[in-house]
Amino acid sequence: MKITRALAIVFAFSLLVLSGMPAYAGLVYSTFGPGNAYDMDTGYTVGLNGSQQVAAAFQPLSDFTLYSINFAASRVGINDPSVVTVRLTDVNANNIFETFTISVDGYPSDIYTATSVVHPTLSANQVYWVVLSAPNSGDTFSWNWNNQSITGWYRNSGTGWEDLNYPGVWAPAFAVNSAPVPIPGALVLFGSGLLGLIGIGRKRFKK
């Protein structure tokens, strides 16, 4: 009976600790610089007089579950805020894994976050596209460039899809994050507490 009670205490303690355990989202890919730096003055115009959609690719090194996508943007159209549609697709843009709607609410530029609801699992060494588009007339915005001289695959559907990877053609500023994982320090505290409770249970059992 005492053993059962001790196990129940351990189980309850485990649920309590895990529910309140701090976590962080793992960085899968980013073109941002230190401190999330990016080019605040230049970017790809999306909507109205620019391309109707602009996309950039990334290739994860390991399988992961999507948590969020960050991107740097500023409004340049007449609508305030401007609506931005964010899509995550496969390399051929045939399979849309998730679609987000974000409001870009002004100038100067800022970093916006599209938080996943579906949490799709993406595979290592596969190419995926982050696509930003302006769905409505007047919803014009700029997807800012990175300032780390990072070039990358970029697609522009204003005059047809095109693949570019040339020096001077900067990748837009964005980051892809995996699902949150418990931070190591919290796991150590949890393990210590769990071992302590097991020790107490053993002492009571010996008595």
Of 15, 32, 34, 47, the closest CA to residue 152 belongs to 32
Residue 52: the pLDDT is 75
Q: What is the pLDDT of residues 27-50, one digit of tens each?
A: 999 999 999 999 998 898 888 666
Do residues 87 and 129 share a domain? yes
For residue 96 the two structure tokens come to 């849309």
Do residues 64 and 89 share a domain? yes
How far apart (Å, rounded) are the C-alpha atoms in residues 131 and 200?
55
Do residues 3 and 49 share a domain? no
Going by pLDDT thresholds of 50, 70 and 90, the confidence category of residue 82 is: confident
Do residues 174 and 203 share a domain? no
Do residues 190 and 114 share a domain? no
How far apart (Å, rounded) are the C-alpha atoms in residues 25 and 176?
10
Assess whether pLDDT exceeds 60 at residue 130.
yes
Assess whether pLDDT exceeds 80 at residue 171.
yes
How far apart (Å, rounded) are the C-alpha atoms in residues 10 and 27?
33
Domain range for 13 is 1-22+183-207
Going by pLDDT thresholds of 50, 70 and 90, the confidence category of residue 185 is: very low
Average pLDDT, stretch 47-70? 86
